[in-house]
Amino acid sequence: MKNKIVSIRLTRNTTIYAGWEDKTNPNTGFENPFTDVSESDWFYDDVMFVFVKKLMVGVSDTLFDPYGTTTRAMTATTIWRMEGSPAPKGGNPFTDVKNGEWYTDAILWAAENEIAEGYGGGLFGTNDPVTREQLAAFFFRYAEYKGYDTTITGSIDRFTDKGDLSDWAVDAMKWAVGYGLIQGKDNNILDPKGYATRAEFAAMLHRFIEKNELEEGITATGLMGWIDPKRTIGIPNTGDASTSLWTSALLFSLAACAVLTLLKRRRDGEEAEVNLIHP
């Protein structure tokens, strides 16, 4: 599996993003490794996307388990990966989140940024299957954290089980329906308390990235994650020498961070051809 990086662009307002020539796109000859995912499945493109982009992996080398459940720990971890896997800043308030596990940093980061909430009493529900209404809330809060549009609302009146929604999940579910992340099931049901399958989670991830037009790039914390290239961080343009030096130093630091990240990808077996542009 190889992704060739064809450019990294740095502009004067510190936008930095990487563009990939995706050699593993399922439409360009990518060999599907999963025997339980076929091109005729509604979730095929979604699963291939999240797998190629390393947001989700299979349960084995040949199985994705599309109809299996997704845990709350995995949900938090996947969203954390989208953000570039940043280190949490606070302590651990949960008695069921062990230190040093694969999910620890992800859950603590998500909790301290109010993307994920526990059950109360010091419990996060680490290994509990995530429900569809919980999944909607995860994405809604992450969108709020990122400053994306959360004002969109869709009608849930057509769903016969809308009364099963928890009060805390109503706004998130209306947003998810209006945004096209959740489309409901047969017989006009939302199934809010039902467990989200891995295929459904992959579909929501893919839709979230496409709806927000996200690209892989350097996040505000200097990590490789998913960013909106249209959103920029401004640098004061005073015209004096100190600002110019500060800008140059910042751009150089970002470029160095990008190159180091790409070198790591190359070490891990991916092609990494870099073209830096500073207009």
Is residue 254 a contact partner of residue 278, using CB atoms and an 8 Å limit?
no
Mean pLDDT throughout 15-44?
A: 69
Average model confidence (pLDDT) across the chain: 81
Most confident of 67-81, 208-222, 252-266: 67-81
In a domain, 169, yes or no: yes
Tokens linked to 276: 């830096």
Helix (H), strand (E) at residue 197: none
pLDDT digits (tens, 9 = 90+) for 118-130: 999 999 999 999 9
Give the number of domains in the chain.
Answer: 1
Note the pTM of the prediction, 2 decimals: 0.73
Query: What domain range is 175 assigned to?
Result: 147-194
**Would residue 238 count as lying in a domain?**
no
Residue 32 has pLDDT above 60, yes or no: yes
Widest Cα–Cα separation across the chain: 66
DSSP run (H or E) holding 174: helix 170-179
Question: What b/e readout covers 201-239, taking b as 16+ CB neighbours within 10 angstroms?
Answer: bbbbbbbbbeebebebbbbeebebbbbbbeeeeeeeeee
Average pLDDT over residues 69-83: 95
98 within domain boundaries: no
Q: State the DSSP code for 27.
A: G
Amino acid identity, residue 271? E
In a domain, 37, yes or no: no
Contact 9, 277 (CB under 8 A): yes
Q: Is residue 223 part of a domain?
A: no
pLDDT at 45 over 70: yes
Strand partners, 3: 22
Residue 265: its pLDDT value, please?
A: 57
Q: What is the rounded average pLDDT of the residues 88-115?
A: 95
Instruction: Tell me if 181 sits within 8 A of 136, measured CB to CB.
Output: yes
CA distance linking residue 102 with residue 105, whole number of Å: 8
